[in-house]
């Protein structure tokens, strides 16, 4: 059996391999004006000089040896689909939308990068369109902070595989990672902890320290840095979604602003006081600043693994339950999610949360990210809600991928690459 010369991940819907090869040798790139940035990205990826990029004008016939990136007519549904024609004399990318042109460019880049001889690529005709509109990767920058330079490398890599969403887990007990001008203690204090290793810190004192202290571990993105990351991703067809946790996983916030917890400055509180209107003022203030940085449709508010014990003994939370005729603490959490969903919707955005937001009833405009298996996603879909499937058994890379003896410490479990890809 002849070995395929075209190997693209994910596999395109149609690949027709043809005889012959296209030579790569100081090729000129002719591009429709709306797609010029795609030509720049291809040049940067292949380390070609940008002086080889020319605008494609009506009626002009590019010379032999050219790479052509052209915008074609089409509707919104066609915007992410593309055709890639590699012939002996020309390479032509055709798409109705920027997303499709980016996808085609990444396919071409994969073909080039996977050839033994990088100066020649096999001729082929490829047509493709995404099976899923949302194709994402989450990175947890709370437990381990990654600087902007690393995030840019991650964006480049996921773009190569046509992943179009980067979900940044910006806040958790392990550290707050984004500048909020209205609440400076979030980055002066809540962004810094006593130990580099999250597990060591979690199993010991769980103390936070002030920025600049000796041996302080942490960091955060300034709003300017975050905006630069958003712009960098947008050029590559990638949307960044911010996640700001509530009502749980918020120990770092309560350490910096004790009045947001049920029992003041008591150490180890992970849940906001939902009987306190200051909690909702805080969350709305933070989300407002995030929406100014991140133009994504979705705003992720977490909603997972919230303990209920402090709410049961908190007079304010119990009064909130009574005043709103709620049945229990699960419905209290649902009340909080619904209140945030109403606020986020009023700003023209959509609330996204982990599948725990189903508990106690789901806000009408909420979208569910199903991580505890598939059950929550199926339930939400049957209720008419959009769902993003992220089941831990197949989608979590914090498990071992090979023999644990040969890999860095993981959270546990076994998830080989083959199972993920299947």
Active site residue ranges: 172, 249, 305
Q: What are phi and psi of 361, to 5 degrees?
A: 110, 140
Q: Residue 208, SS3?
A: strand
Tokens of 320: 């909130």
> How deeply is 271 buried, as exposed, middle or buried, from its count of CB atoms within 10 A (0-12, 13-18, 19+)?
buried
Q: Which has the closest alpha carbon to 173: 218, 136, 212? A: 218
CA pair distance 297, 290, nearest whole angstrom: 12
> How far, CA to CA in Å, does 263 sit from each of 71, 255, 259, 266, 275?
59, 11, 8, 6, 12
Cβ–Cβ under 8 Å, residues 59 and 126: no
Cβ–Cβ under 8 Å, residues 376 and 392: no
Residues 6+ apart with CB under 8 A from 57: none
Whether the bond into 247 is cis, omega within 30 of 0: yes
CA pair distance 141, 221, nearest whole angstrom: 10
CA angle 246, 251, 252 (to 5 degrees): 100
């Amino acid at each position: 059996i002849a070995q395929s010369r075209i190997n693209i991940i994910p596999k395109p819907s149609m690949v027709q391999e043809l005889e012959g090869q296209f030579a790569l040798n100081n090729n000129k790139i002719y591009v429709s004006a709306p797609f010029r940035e795609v030509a720049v990205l291809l040049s940067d990826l292949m380390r070609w000089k940008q002086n080889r990029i020319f605008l494609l004008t009506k009626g002009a016939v590019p010379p032999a040896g050219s790479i052509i990136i052209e915008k074609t007519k089409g509707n919104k549904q066609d915007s992410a689909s593309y055709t890639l024609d590699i012939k002996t004399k020309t390479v032509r990318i055709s798409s109705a939308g920027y997303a499709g042109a980016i996808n085609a460019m990444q396919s071409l880049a994969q073909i080039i990068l996977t050839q033994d001889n990088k100066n020649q690529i096999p001729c082929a005709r490829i047509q493709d369109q995404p099976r899923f509109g949302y194709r994402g990767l989450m990175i947890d920058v709370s437990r381990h902070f990654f600087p902007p330079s690393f995030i840019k490398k991650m964006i480049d890599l996921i773009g190569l595989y046509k992943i179009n969403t980067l979900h940044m887990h910006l806040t958790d007990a392990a550290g707050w990672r984004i500048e909020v001008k209205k609440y400076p203690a979030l980055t002066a204090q809540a962004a810094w902890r006593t130990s580099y290793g999250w597990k060591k810190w979690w199993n010991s004192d769980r103390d936070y320290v002030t920025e600049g202290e000796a041996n302080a571990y942490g960091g955060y993105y300034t709003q300017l840095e975050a905006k630069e990351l958003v712009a960098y991703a947008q050029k590559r067809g990638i949307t960044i979604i911010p996640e700001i946790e509530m009502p749980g996983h918020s120990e770092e916030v309560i350490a910096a602003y004790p009045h947001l917890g049920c029992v003041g400055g008591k150490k180890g509180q992970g849940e906001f006081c939902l009987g306190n209107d200051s909690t909702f003022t805080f969350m709305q203030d933070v989300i407002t600043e995030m929406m100014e940085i991140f133009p994504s449709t979705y705003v992720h508010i977490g909603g997972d693994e919230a303990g209920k014990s402090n709410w049961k003994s908190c007079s304010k939370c119990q009064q909130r339950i009574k005043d709103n005729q709620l049945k229990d603490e699960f419905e209290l959490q649902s009340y909080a999610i619904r209140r945030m969903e109403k606020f986020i919707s009023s700003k023209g955005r959509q609330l996204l949360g982990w599948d725990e937001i189903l508990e106690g009833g789901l806000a009408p405009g909420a979208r569910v990210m199903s991580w505890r298996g598939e059950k929550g996603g199926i339930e939400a879909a049957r209720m008419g809600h959009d769902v993003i499937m992220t089941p831990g058994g197949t989608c979590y890379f914090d498990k071992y991928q090979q023999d644990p003896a040969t890999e860095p410490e993981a959270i546990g479990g076994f998830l080989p690459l083959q199972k993920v890809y299947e």
